[in-house]
Structure 1
Amino acid sequence: MTFKSSHLNPLSQLVELKTHLLDDAEGQSQSLVVELRANPQEVEDKIGTISVEIREATLALDISGMEIVPKTRIGQSETAVPALREVHRETTIATVRASSEGGKAGVSVGITASGPEAGVQLGVAASDSSSASITRRDTEMIKDVFHPVRAQSGDRWKVSMENGGALDATFLDGDVLCKLSRVKGANLVGVESRIVVKQKHINVKLDADKGFLSLRFPRSANQAKIMKVLINKSLNDKSGNADFAGEITFSKSSSCDED
């Protein structure tokens, strides 16, 4: 089976996506090979220069006439495998020992009516105390493997950095995202992949054209909010999307059966 690929990356310096469907050696399934890169970038627009950072993106698949082979998704969490945990505990055991000893003897001298009376009194007292503490430390390790491209439900993958910062890496470089098998009797066979970003995951900074601002926007408390929406719509327009519904599709890549 031969597949033809096409890519749409209007903002390739910000996000670049390329996909290819390749037959496996056994001929029973196809591998979806993906290249995905994302970096902070400056975008030129009529309102000025926009500095753009993406903190999180979604790689979404629209699959026709095929289905994903189980246990072939990249970034799949192994929930059935016990996790190695590490927890620090500290226990202090304290012991106290105390003892005391006392003795008493006395000597006294006195004169009474009945005759001389003598007495001697001696006093001896002793005490001893000690304490000790033992500290015990136990270690238990937790290891959670971070997946920059993590499989999710709905044929989607979450793309993020471990530190939660702006996407700035090659996330997939000819890696197999998943394997697919053809559905019996299907006529149209292929996969369209998209990089979709929610507005809340985009950081933007505008170096505005002063003339544009003075002509189009009155000074108001909501100016910053209006500008942010406008910037996102501008990027959405550059990405080839006519409508804006709170998320932007930055890249598309299709791989379809030529037959």
Structure 2
Amino acid sequence: MIREKLINIVMECRELFLQGYHADKNVQYKGTVDLVTEYDVAIEKRLSKSLQEAFPDFEIIGEESTKEITYPKKAIYIDPIDGTTNFIHSLPFCAISVGVWEEGRAVAGVVYNPVLDECFSAERGGGAYLNDKRIFVSKQHDFQQSLIVTGFPYTKVTKGEDYEWVLRTMANMLPITRDIRRTGSAAIDLCYVACGKFEAYYECNLKPWDVAAGVLIVEEAHGKVSNEKGEEYALGEHIILSSNALVHNELLKNINIG
């Protein structure tokens, strides 16, 4: 099974991830608030080597090594540490994310948080799992009683369209939901929708490696993932929405209020 192969490869990086989490780190800046550590680079190198050996027909697209994002027919998208800012600040919401895509569709994915020892995984048609337990989305159908999670794009520093969109959507939804959370890891947010902790998640301006694994995990947990038009989400689209499917229409409606 592809899922089991991926889990084994990701687990090879567990000790390195935990070592980095507890260590003093050399922090560098890719942008004003976009950070990278030596552990992001080291984990990606280790993952890339093992994945290339296990899946020689697939192109590896990694956050730290890819200069130009492409969408080949057979691709494996790696985020060695999704939630690097949390990782640096010793906040436990950070994870390794690996998603396998073929012909524009997710085939398998693993999101592993070594700090909390939470391994989310899925293979198309085989269900979604947290460690060895099958998971499903929440059964909540009332948007007012739904807990929503979101994220803030790095482009917020320019106070441009993304920044305005974030403020507008939060203003729309805060009064009509139970509350809104922000963990700082898109991969974990998607997985927490998949296991029923959150009813819905939305964000803009993400990279493919942020969501390549989590999208399938939500779908295999019987949730829904779309763009802002309600259409099937494709990697690279500007806005992603995911939910337990029961509140998806309300989520769409409130995302699109001008």
TM-score tier by shorter-chain length is under 0.3
- Structure ID, larger Rg: 1
Higher relative contact order, structure no. (Cα contacts within 8 Å, ≥ 6 residues apart)? 1
Provide the TM-score with structure 2 as the length reference: 0.22
Q: Which protein has the bigger helix share?
A: 2
